Amino acid sequence: MDSDLKFTTDIRNLFNLFHEFQPNNIIGIGRESQPVYRHVFWQYRHENPKTRVGDPPPHGLTGFNSGVLLLDLERMRKSKLFGQVLDENLPENLAKKYHFRGHLGDQDLYTLLHMEYNDMFYVLPCTWNRQLCTYWRDHGYKDVFDLYFKCDGKINVYHGNCNTPIPDNEG
């Protein structure tokens, strides 16, 4: 978990989401709530105009935000695919395929893997990683920003990414 989080519910409720994992899910992670990966994958999107890569939810491959993660360590150890990620050039090959130059560390890795291996991930509801940063709204993506940023429901975890203040109220 990132250090810029505020829980509005018992953390045990987050842990209970492990029960919603499908058999191939090894990582629970929330979607990126800004069009950052729409921007980062610009060249791939230009070359593949019908791709879902970088498109908004619910059907787009938006990329991930790793502020809140659920890691099933036992499944990760047993996963042949995840073992390839650690032992081979899979991330580098995916980066070449998608013309990807990341800058967000682990979440870039998870995002790249998701482009090819959807089943590895359980997508957390946005209410479990409610990102508050609005940087991309004012940096070229105002027309599509709300498609990524929208999050309905009671917020369980606020994420003050981009040094965004976290609300004092709990809902």
Round to whole Å and give the CA distance between 66 and 118. Answer: 16
Amino acid 151: pLDDT: 97
What does the pLDDT look like over 86-116, one tens digit per residue?
767 888 899 999 999 888 888 999 999 999 9
- 46 exposed, middle or buried (CB, 10 Å; 0-12, 13-18, 19+)? exposed
- 150 exposed, middle or buried (CB, 10 Å; 0-12, 13-18, 19+)? exposed
Round to whole Å and give the CA distance between 3 and 17. Answer: 21
Model confidence pTM above 0.85:
yes
Give residue 116's Cα distance to chain centre: 14
Confidence at 169, pLDDT banded by 50, 70, 90? low
What does the pLDDT look like over 12-65, one tens digit per residue?
999 999 999 999 999 999 999 999 999 999 999 999 999 999 999 999 999 999
- Res 171 pLDDT > 90: no
Confidence at 85, pLDDT banded by 50, 70, 90? confident
What would the mean pLDDT of 64-91 be, rounded to a whole number?
90
What would the mean pLDDT of 118-124 be, rounded to a whole number?
96
Write the CA distances from 46 to 18, 50, 61, 140, integer angstroms: 37, 9, 15, 16
Q: State the residue for tokens 């939810």.
A: 57
Amino acid 36: pLDDT: 95
